[in-house]
A and B are shown apart, each in its own frame.
Chain A
């Protein structure tokens, strides 16, 4: 097992460097020039010399290979440099936003797991009964309803419910406070986007749990378990689910990484300063360092999540653990 963990850890290095390579050169292939935008963004005339100077300062006239080496070294030391627009350290710019996005992603994933695994299991066990139909409808609705729209509904519901109950309208707080400073305040702000996105992401996982479990329930070893006279609860929990969860874990893992940078619209609905919005801003202002920094952070989260998914896989399936 430890050997497996170590192997997987080593494998992360080439993956990250490969991703860095792709991100770096794709960004440079994008049209637009940060110095022209920064200096002449309002349409004013800018001196050619000034632009050259700006480029020099930002290191844009160095050979690409040097810039790339700088970038990779930065990743290794978790120093992504400074924003080409604001001039502040990228880690500083991301700081709280990263925390916020990570927390929303984790909470949304927990919501998704808590919805999808029990519902998917119910749906498979009671296949083609009204329970199954309800679960499938709920899941399809989750896929069909955009999470920002669900977010708006949640906000409206909060408004009217709070008004009906207390007479004053309550909306979630808007300024982010880390969870360890004021958990209640923090949760009262972030639980809503987590529920909205978690529900949406549970939909795919619910369907996955259902179909995977249905498949496993047809396996010979489930028949063996039945022939042993085990109760249905043990057959499902011990024999079937452990096998059926393998593909579900993968789906949830991939979704988690996506949640980190992909919640642009939801962040806007809930007025959150998350990574998603920062990413959009930095792309529109052609801020190479900022964009590649954020994307790289998302890549790192993705790689680390994948690592945990693989470990979980090995924990669930001894055939992987011992190979």
Chain B
């Protein structure tokens, strides 16, 4: 099948006074049309930067995409002019952000914020844009949309605002939605609702979805594929079942132990990943995870392991990956 999005060896760096932050350090992954791909990792591992790189919204200075390619729908995004890139943003790729409280403009009505995307990208009249905005609010399950259109963000709860963000992202009929921790800031009950809504809508509309999260538990139910990121790299990638039941990287394993699981006895202790993520300005040639790794050997200090297949469709970057599943089985 032809891919919708192909990211190849993408590197994004920030040139700060403290040094060069290697926020995204050579990531490669694909998204097929209609597919849901999760990007998982601890805070600060480069998830947001990788997402913003796809839309070319990295603040420059200090940031810059220094290497790699991003093919989207037959176009090389990194080769597009700024004007061509603007056409892609909001029309072909929609984006949903983490903070619903601050991601909507407080001084503009909901209507204005939805219709402006339509007016920018589609050749629509004001009335048609308004009609479309109404439809979108209906679609994302906002009751009394007529009234909501006239309101301002501060009238809406966090969950509602995130629904509005989803409506905005879907308004122009994009092929891909990137959702950057869309539920992290919400109540747990609302989180499930929003995730369900996104799953349902992307299925229904055939839109591909990249969902970014630091919670592996969240993605198990919603993602087709999972990319686990650590220190700016993808260290393990596979389908949801493989990652969830047969992790082949010590970091994935640690992440899994830090979230509650359905298939686990109740009362089992959750263990947060011990240690601190590395300083992205001071990465050496070894594996970035080794200071926190139970499996680390001398080899890990000498060179960073490459991603290698452990089973069809499942890759892991670990020198000791053969042992990882084993210990899990014993423990």
Contact = CB atoms under 8 A, between A and B. Distances in A.
**Interface residues of A, dominant DSSP:** helix
Interface stretch (A107-115, A237-245, A270-278, A296-304): A237-245
Contact of B107 (A223, A226, A231, A243): A243
Given A238-B108, A322-B152, A224 B116 contact: no
B55 A238 contact: no
Contacts of B86: 229-231
Interface residues of B, number: 28
A231 B88 CA distance: 12
B89 A225 contact: no
Contacts of A239: 105, 108
A219 B154 CA distance: 16
A319 B152 contact: yes
A239 B102 CA distance: 13
A229 B103 contact: no
Contacts of A229: 86-91, 117, 120-121
Contacts of A316: 107
A227 interface: yes
Given A243-B105, A318-B106, A223 B97 contact: yes
A246 to B, nearest CB: 9
Contacts of B89: 226-229
Interface in A207-225: 219-221, 223-225
A318 B103 contact: no
A224 B95 CA distance: 8
B9 interface: no
Interface string A302-323: 0000000000000011110010
6 contacts: A220-B102, A223-B103, A231-B120, A234-B120, A239-B105, A318-B152
Given A224-B104, A224-B168, 13 more contacts: A220-B102, A221-B106, A223-B103, A227-B55, A228-B117, A230-B86, A230-B116, A230-B117, A238-B108, A318-B152, A319-B106, A319-B152, A322-B152
Interface of B: 55, 57, 86-91, 94-95, 97, 99, 102-108, 116-117, 120-121, 152, 154-155, 165, 168
